Amino acid sequence: MNRRTQIIAAISAALVVAVFYLLRPSYQKIVGVEADAPPPNKAPARIRVPAAPGAVATRPLDPHDLQQVSSHPLAISFGANPELTSSEPGILLEILRFYRMEFGSFPAGQENSDIMNALTGTNPGKLPVFPRKHPRIDSAGRLLDAWGSPFVFHPISSQHLEIRSKGPDGEIFSPDDIVAGKQPVPDR
């Protein structure tokens, strides 16, 4: 990656973070969460949810059992602007960081559908962070990139997640992949 590309990527990431933090207060107002309030940690007894935020969410909840709030603003507009295609993994990472802030960890699982199931409301707070009927979610419950391939989630640790779009060629680990959350290589 040349220096110019690194600068553009850094600026894009900074813009995504800035938009997220500018929109967060209004999102908290919609959800009814105070800025310093702890995340909800208990669901009503009639709903079976994972015991811990890190448990894999295998089945979607009934839409009537979800909190009746708007999804995260970045999730609602996800994929709407073709000019942001190369920023989509970074935007998705910001949405997942919001989830981690609310529930203490990233959603468990490596499968795209497991992650999206948690983001669409099968989580301890029944919070639909991502719209369940989003046009980029396929019939298997996977979030697709701009080229129709499922995003690849690679948990590195409980606090670090890598998200990869396979890019235009649809092949993973090829030069056109778009990656967010990649661990920086230390200078020697």
- Asked whether the predicted pLDDT for residue 143 surpasses 50, the reply is yes
| DSSP string for the chain | --HHHHHHHHHHHHHHHHHHHHHHHHHHHHHT--TTPPPP----TTS---SSTTS---SPPPGGGS-SSPPPHHHHTTT--GGGGGGHHHHHHHHHHHHHHHHSSPPS-SSHHHHHHHHTT-STT---SS-TT-TTB-TTSPBB-TTSPBPEEEEEETTEEEEEE-TTTT-TTSTT-EEESPPPPPP-
pLDDT, average across residues 134-152: 97
Sheet of 160-165: strands edge to edge? 152-157, 160-165, 178-180
State the average pLDDT for the chain: 77
Which is higher by pLDDT, 151 or 63?
Answer: 151
- The pLDDT, as a whole number, for residue 168 is 96
Which is higher by pLDDT, 188 or 109?
Answer: 109
Residue 30 — very low, low, confident or very high, per pLDDT cuts 50/70/90? very low
- Asked whether the predicted pLDDT for residue 132 surpasses 60, the reply is yes
Which is higher by pLDDT, 32 or 140?
Answer: 140
- Asked whether the predicted pLDDT for residue 34 surpasses 50, the reply is no
pLDDT single digits (tens) 78-94 = 999 999 999 999 999 99
Each domain of the chain, given as residue ranges in start order, spans 3-34+64-180
